[in-house]
Every structure is written in structure tokens, then in C-alpha cells.
A and B are shown apart, each in its own frame.
Chain A
Amino acid sequence: MPENYSDFFKEKCSQGELWLPYCPHCQKAFFYPRGHCPFCLEEGWQWMPASGRGKVYSYTIVRVSALDEFKEATPYVYALIDLEEGVRLASNVVNCPEELLQPDLPVKLTWVEREGRRLPVFTPVEGN
């Protein structure tokens, strides 16, 4: 297994790149990064850069947040994103008018700075 997988993921994010763990044995990407492929439990997985393209699987608009770093940003959109690579991850949808927001909306990767970290978030693909 790649060493320090958690650090590698964050390091790539800090450079504005989203990388995914990929198991060549299963020929599948997976998320979240972990020492063993969750399908075959082998360690021999690799990193692959994500396309950054995906769809909103579902979303919720958080109107009351208990987290300080979101006080200014509330309401905000917490969402599940299905990436083209076949993995689902938690993220935010940003710069999206509420009337446009819906499940299955095509989105693309963008970045926000939050609490000193660069985080992968998603925004609607133009033309929608």
C-alpha cells in the first residue's frame, strides 16, 4: 500500500489536485483512501488523478449549522457527489443557484480554502 495515504491525499489537495485510490487487481477506484482495497483487501493499490467530473447524487441545504467555520457560510449545500470514476464522496456544491440544484445535476471540481486547508468541492457544469 502507498505509505502515508492520508498525507498524500491532503498534499495533492493542497496543490489543487484530486487523486483517488485505484486497485489494479479489481480495476476499480475506491474512496476513502485506506491501506487495503475494500473489494479484495489487497494492499497493492495505486493513486490515480480524478477527472473532476461527476453528478450530484443527493444534497441537503444546511440552514442551521452548529459548526463555527460554517456560521458565515450558512445556508450551505452538503452533498454526495458521484464521480465518473465510480466513487461517491461527501462534499459541498458551491456557486449554484438554489433553483438549479437537484439530484443528478452534472458538476465539476473546484476548490475552496477552509480552516487553512484546500478542499475539493463541486460547482455546476456550465450550460446547465
Chain B
Amino acid sequence: MLLSGRASITGISELPPQKDGRGLRTLDLLAQAARLAIQDAGLRKSDIDGLLVAPPSEDTAFMWPAQVAEYLQIFPASLNMVELGGASAVGCVNRAALLVAAGICRYCLCLSGGVWGTGVFNDRAGKSAVMSGAELEYELPYGPMGFNSGYALAARRHMHEYGTTPEQLAKIAVDQRRSALFNPLALFNQSALTIEEVLASPVIVDPIHLLEIVRPCSGAAAVVVSRTEAAPDTPQPRVAILGMGEACTHNSIVYAPGLTATPIALSAQKAFAMADVKPGDIDLVSLYDCYTITVLLTLEDAGFCPRGEGGHFVESTDLSFRGALPCNTHGGQLSCGQASYAGGMSHVIEAVRQLRGQAGERQVEGHRLAFVNGNGGVLSTQSSLVLGGD
């Protein structure tokens, strides 16, 4: 395959997520994350010749890549903003890999982050900001609750078709929390969680409980993608990009082909085919977890269990870092918080830590291959990666 292995992730950084966004600015967070990732890659800022940025939170998106490049005083041969919602971070890494494999760039910086203001998403203006014209005209009059209701529709349909239970979905959050207890960066790492506690938390949009929903926060994360042949002596163990895939079937979930079969299937298939591996070869997974149902649908559609059997699979499989299929060993967004678009980058970064053997107390034993998935909107845009350690 033309691309497989020609690009590597050689630098990562993740700022501690912050519950309180007051006084923070996205550009400052991005600069800090950029400095740390470039250091981690053993590069100088002047080496960076490609810039991929996820959209801003409070700033205007107009000319955002140039705004970021100006602040950082980086002068890239290629720069762009990737807007795929929650899949933007993986989307940045995918595009960086294309740029370095094509010989356009040698070292691409992928940046994501944002500042959480409490009003975002929850009031009418916040909701409207993430709705298309069609959604505003033909959905908002019926009172959708943004992403919450979209994923609730998917969860309800999955329960109806396959008998999936609230307990099975809750276990995903519980297993991820068991790993989060060993992640000092996680917002929620103080105590273990039980299925009973998840189900006792308020039902926000039936059948989704509060503890199955990400907590937005502020933060930033960065990744350096290097042309493999241009990075022979990186300070960190190299992580190769072996496969990638993307897919999209809808913007609003109302117009998705279905609620229980998602574009994740196609995106994952493409990534596995490029890497020439199967789901059974994968040692650990980092799956976008805005809600528990997202993880369950990803496990099914990416082929880690048959369609419809996700409930039984998560019930009978230890998903923690000690388990048979370690999933979101940093705790996922459900335990770490969702630092705007950097939430999706956290999945890439945790996979890299594991593949490098740098995950500390939560290190997975076998760590040769990882599958990463980014998901945007309500099961809309999908970006997948297969990563390989040395």
C-alpha cells in the first residue's frame, strides 16, 4: 500500500484537562501543547512544515490555520483546518500522514483544543451553533436535546433490536473508570464507579444517564506526524501509521441510513485493509466515547464482536487495561473529560503511550497494534487509524 508505514507519530502532548475555563484562551493552550509535542519529537519549531488544526472554540474560525500559524510563528508548506466534529483530531492525523507520505511535508503538527464555557451546547444559542439550516428548520421545533437526544435514539433502537440493556451500556463507563484510576490526568480518577451508580445517576434523555455522557472541559493536545524516513533517530519509540480510513453517511442523525449500523464499519474496514490486519490482531483500542452507546456501536461496527452482540460482549469482556480487549485505557473522555476537539486527540495520544510502553501503571501487556476511532456529530463523520509500535 502506498501510504502504510510511511508516516509515523513521533511526538505527543496533552495538557491536563481543566473544569474551569475562566481566563483561558484556546491559542495559549495550543501554543503550550505545540511546544511540548515538538520537544517530545526531538524537533525544533523551525522543523515544522505542516500544520493541521481542529476548529477553535471561542475564536472566529475565519482563517483559523493562519491565526494559529501566526501566533506560533510557524511557516508551513501546507496548512488547513479539519472540521469533522469529534473526528477532527484523528482527521488531522490522517491528513498529516497523507502530506508527509506524498512528500509535501516532513513534520506535520496536529493541534486541537478549546475552552469550555458553561453555556455551550446547553442553551438555545449553543444548540443552534452546531445545527445545520435543515436541523434548525425541521428538527429544532420538536425539542431535540442536541447530541444527547441523537445518541439516545441510537441506544433505544439498539435495545429494541438486540435486547441490549442499560446495565451493559453502563459497564463501559465502569470499566473505563477502572483504568482512569491509574491516570493522574483524568478529571474523574478519585474513586471507582459501579453499574448501580451509573444507573442511579439522573436520566437526562431516556435511556441515557448522566454518567454515560462526557463532561466538557478545557484543554489541548498535539501530535507530530513525521515522514518515517525523515525521522530515523527520534528520541521516543516510533509509532507507525499503518492504516487509515474515513467515512460519512449523514450530517443529522435523522437522515442516517440506520441507527444501529453506522459509517464506523466502512471507516474501520478501510483502515484494517490498508494495515493488512484484522480486528483480532489488535492489542488495544481507543474509541471515541462521547456516550457509552458510541463505544458499543464502534466495537460492533469495527468488527470486534458481531453486530447486535455488543451488549453481551461488553458484559463478558474486561475492557480495562488488564482485560482481554483494553479499551480507552486513559479512562476515555467519560473519565478524562472532553476538552473540545482535543477529546478526540486523547484517544490517539493514549494509543501512542501504550504502543511506546509509556503508559505507566496502566500499561497493557501486549502492545504491538492499536485501533483508534474518531467520531463526529451523531455517528456521522468517522476517522479511523491502525497504529503499530516498534
Q: Which residues of B contact A92 (CB under 8 A)?
A: 142-143
Q: Give the number of chain B interface residues (Cβ < 8 Å).
A: 31
Picked from A64, A104, A114, the residue with its CB within 8 Å of the CB of B202 is: A64
- Pick from A57, A76, A104, A115 the residue with the most CB of B within 10 Å: A57
Contact B254 A90 (CB under 8 A): yes
Q: Which residues of A contact B153 (CB under 8 A)?
A: 58-60, 78-80
Contact A66 B157 (CB under 8 A): no
B 346-384 to A, binary, CB cutoff 8 A, 1 in contact else 0: 000000000000000000000000000000000000000
CB distance from B346 to the nearest CB of A (A): 27
Residue B38 at the A interface, CB < 8 A?
no
Assembled-state Cα–Cα distance A79/B138 (Å):
13
Contact B154 A70 (CB under 8 A): no
Q: A59-B153, A62-B205, A103-B160 are in contact. Are A89 and B254 (CB under 8 A)?
A: yes
B 149-184 to A, binary, CB cutoff 8 A, 1 in contact else 0: 100111011001100000000000000000000000
Which B residues between 180 and 222 are near A, CB-CB below 8 angstroms? 202-208
Q: Which residues of B contact A61 (CB under 8 A)?
A: 205-206
Picked from A69, A70, A90, A103, the residue with its CB within 8 Å of the CB of B139 is: A90
Contact A66 B160 (CB under 8 A): no
Q: Which residues of B contact A90 (CB under 8 A)?
A: 138-139, 142, 144, 254
Assembled-state Cα–Cα distance A12/B354 (Å):
58
Contact B145 A88 (CB under 8 A): no
- Segment from B122-130, B270-278, B305-313 that makes contact with A: B122-130
The B contact surface, by secondary structure, is helix
Contact B142 A64 (CB under 8 A): no
Assembled-state Cα–Cα distance A114/B143 (Å):
11
Assembled-state Cα–Cα distance A114/B140 (Å):
12
Assembled-state Cα–Cα distance A65/B142 (Å):
11
Q: A60-B205, A88-B254, A89-B138 are in contact. Are A65 and B156 (CB under 8 A)?
A: no
Chain A: number of interface residues, binned into ranges? 35 or more
Which A residues between 64 and 86 are near B, CB-CB below 8 angstroms? 64-70, 73, 75-76, 78-80
Residue A32 at the B interface, CB < 8 A?
yes
Contact B137 A32 (CB under 8 A): yes
CB distance from A91 to the nearest CB of B (A): 5
Q: CB-nearest residue of chain A relative to B139?
A: A90
Residue A119 at the B interface, CB < 8 A?
yes
Residue A117 at the B interface, CB < 8 A?
yes
Q: Which residues of A contact B137 (CB under 8 A)?
A: 6, 32
Contact B122 A63 (CB under 8 A): no
- Pick from A34, A76, A89, A103 the residue with the most CB of B within 10 Å: A103
Residue B30 at the A interface, CB < 8 A?
no
Q: Which residues of B contact A117 (CB under 8 A)?
A: 141
Residue A51 at the B interface, CB < 8 A?
no
B 240-273 to A, binary, CB cutoff 8 A, 1 in contact else 0: 0000000000000011000100000000000000
Q: Which residues of A contact B152 (CB under 8 A)?
A: 60
- Pick from A61, A62, A79, A103 the residue with the most CB of B within 10 Å: A62
Residue A46 at the B interface, CB < 8 A?
no
Picked from B124, B139, B141, B149, the residue with its CB within 8 Å of the CB of A114 is: B141
Contact A78 B160 (CB under 8 A): no
Contact B160 A58 (CB under 8 A): yes
Contact B204 A64 (CB under 8 A): yes
Residue B134 at the A interface, CB < 8 A?
yes
CB distance from A36 to the nearest CB of B (A): 13
Which B residues between 108 and 136 are near A, CB-CB below 8 angstroms? 122-124, 127, 134
Contact A63 B259 (CB under 8 A): no
CB distance from B182 to the nearest CB of A (A): 33
CB pairs A–B below 8 angstroms (9 shown): A32-B134, A34-B134, A58-B160, A60-B152, A60-B153, A90-B254, A92-B142, A103-B156, A114-B141
Q: Which 4 A-B pairs have the closest CB atoms?
A: A60-B152, A61-B206, A58-B157, A103-B160
